[in-house]
Amino acid sequence: MSALEVTDLVKRYGSKTAVDGLSFTAQPGRVLALLGPNGAGKTSTIEVCEGFRKADGGSVRVLGQHPGDQSLRARVGVMPQSGGTYPGLRAGEVLRLFASFSKHPLPPAELLVRLGLGDVERTAVRRLSGGQAQRLSLALAVVGRPELVFLDEPTAGLDPQARLATWDLVASLRRDGVTVLLTTHLMDEAERLADDVVVVDAGRVVASGTVQELTRGSALGQLRFTARAGLDTDQLLLALPEGCTAKESPAGDYLVEGVIDPQLLASVTAWCAGHGVMAQDLRVERRTLEDVFFELTGRGLR
Amino acid sequence: MTRAEKGQPAVTRAKKGQPAVTRAEKGQPAMAESAMITSTWADGALAPRPGVAPTLSMLRAQTRTELTLLLRNGEQVLLSLVLPIGLLIILSTLTFVEVPVDGVSRIDFFTPGVIALAVMSTAFTGQAIATGFERQYGVLKRLGATPLPRAVLLGAKTLSVLTVELLQLLLLGAVAYSLGWHPAGTVPVVLLVLAVGTATFSGLGLLLGGTLRGLTCLAVANLLWLVLFVLGGVISSLDSFGPAEAVLRFLPTAALSDGLRATLVDASFPGAELLILAVWAALGLGAASRLFRWE
């Protein structure tokens, strides 16, 4: 059974449709990242899954239950994007309070130290820095030892060390069999942490798959090299297998796109040699998730 | 992965001495390895083990939290404890306010009204403001995703209000006794009036706190406190308001202070006042349970 099933989810705010027929599935014990630009509908989606918002269409099943079902409360950990803690309590007090709701909580003291919050245990929540509040919020989400955790932008505003501590925790949750659903607009975060990525834009899924599937679609490899300007790329194409493209841009820089395998590489270099051309800086480029992301969602600011 | 693995030897062989190619290709598996984040948590330390704590221990923890927050809040302590005690001392020792009933000592007349004020401060104003801000900060929303049942949360709020009221009664009682208070009435009747009054003001406080945003709630709750304090017969007899008395006596604060005065001064059973309070309680709690928003 999947840990989370979202089918044709629709969420509207007035006349604005934030989530527009979104579907995806999270498998148990894996990390799934909802990746998308700001305003893509990630938070709306996760908040419906958490039971905080009602869906306007479609269905959501969390561990086989309706979202927000009382029986899920102990099984699911939630880290909202911001807020959610008593500003007047100390960090340690909040964590111990949340721990007291669970039968077998993680030791609050250890959790604080591992997330770099040992020194602020007695600091009021309202005096924590943004990054510290963020990590406390993460601690609150996992302290009850849930089966499934929802993390909405868990590393937003964190410095590199704090980010690493968060990644460490997420990776450890995964290793110990916890299902993690996180939202992020950070490509490298999705690439490093997630088993599965669902790219969301304008409330719809524009791509989904494992990081490998998304970045290594074999038809989409790139081979770049530099040589003297003005080579006949049409001629070059004739030497290459079907389905490749070749172009010069800017002058002297060449880009071949297609299934980049040893055979193709050999064909390109052989063609160059045959034409007395010295190909330099020959490099095969793997697409990063960032390339995929921009390809799918566009580069324009919204 | 497979394409990179297959590709790598071929590329290196085909273009030996081309560092750009080798680096680019070798960089890929290296990057994939660095993507593996090392765990510093012991194996299985985070393994799921969901379970709900016993209700009583949740209630205890949440009540302790509510009380901690309440007593740490300076304004709240001022409103609930300092102000009523100060008012009691001032009213019973200074004579600028007339005691409107003949034959009743100053302290006997003013103590019930001040107790009513103290109950209103804690159950209504304090609770409304705290709840309004908890909603604004998303605390209630987030607690809704923990195993803490809402009934236990409300129970904890009620227990913390009752605890503070007990503290208020003890302090006000001690101060009043030292100023020569001679209460009449019986403990069960006094407790009954206090209980119904608390239910009334809690309902109204939760209605306000559950529907208004933090700062708006703060302003409205404080304003209503002042209005009810002045018009509610806390320190004066409603007779002094002339014909308006007929209406004002139906205000919850008036009903509570009249009710307490009836039993503590005259030792009579305040049936009418209890009825008025019960109607307010039903209205307040009913509206709160329908309109209360958790976020």
ipTM of this complex: 0.80
* Other beta carbons within 10 Å of B226: 11
- Cα–Cα distances (Å) from B178 to A285, B107, B168, B169, B181, in that order, read 87, 10, 15, 14, 7
Task: Name residues whose C-beta falls within 8 Å of residue B57's C-beta, 6 or more positions apart in sequence.
Answer: A100
Length of chain B: 295
| Residue B26 near residue B33 (C-beta atoms within 8 A) | no
pTM for the model stands at: 0.80
Structure-block tokens of residue A295: 């390809």
Using the Cβ of B68 and the Cβ atoms of chain A, whether some distance falls under 8 Å is answered with yes
| Residue B127 near residue B210 (C-beta atoms within 8 A) | no
Q: What per-residue string of b and e applies to B173-193 under the rule 16 or more CB within 10 Å gives b?
A: eebbeebebebebeeebbebb
| Chain B residues close to A114, C-beta within 8 Å | 40-41
Q: Which residue of A has its CA nearest to B142?
A: A84
Express each pLDDT in A79-128 by its tens digit.
999 878 999 999 999 999 999 999 999 999 999 999 999 999 999 999 99
pLDDT at B223 over 90: yes
| Residue A85 near residue A140 (C-beta atoms within 8 A) | yes
**Do residue B6 and residue A144 have CB atoms under 8 angstroms apart?**
no
Question: Across A101-105, A253-257, B11-15, which has the greatest mean pLDDT?
Answer: A101-105
Mutation target vs A (from B39, B64, B293; most A CBs, 10 A cutoff): B39
Using the Cβ of B43 and the Cβ atoms of chain A, whether some distance falls under 8 Å is answered with yes
In whole angstroms, what is the distance from residue B241 CA to residue B236 CA?
9
Chain pair A-B, CB pairs under 8 angstroms? 181
B47, B52, B147 ranked by CB distance to A176: nearest? B47
**Do residue A103 and residue B139 have CB atoms under 8 angstroms apart?**
no
Express each pLDDT in B104-132 by its tens digit.
888 998 999 999 999 999 999 999 999 99
In whole angstroms, what is the distance from residue B283 CA to residue B198 CA?
14
| Residue A4 near residue A148 (C-beta atoms within 8 A) | yes
Q: How confident is the model at residue A32 (pLDDT cuts 50, 70, 90)?
A: very high
Provide the terminal-to-terminal Cα distance of chain B, rounded to the nearest Å.
47
- Say what the pLDDT of residue B7 is: 37
A74, A89, A260 ranked by CB distance to B65: nearest? A89
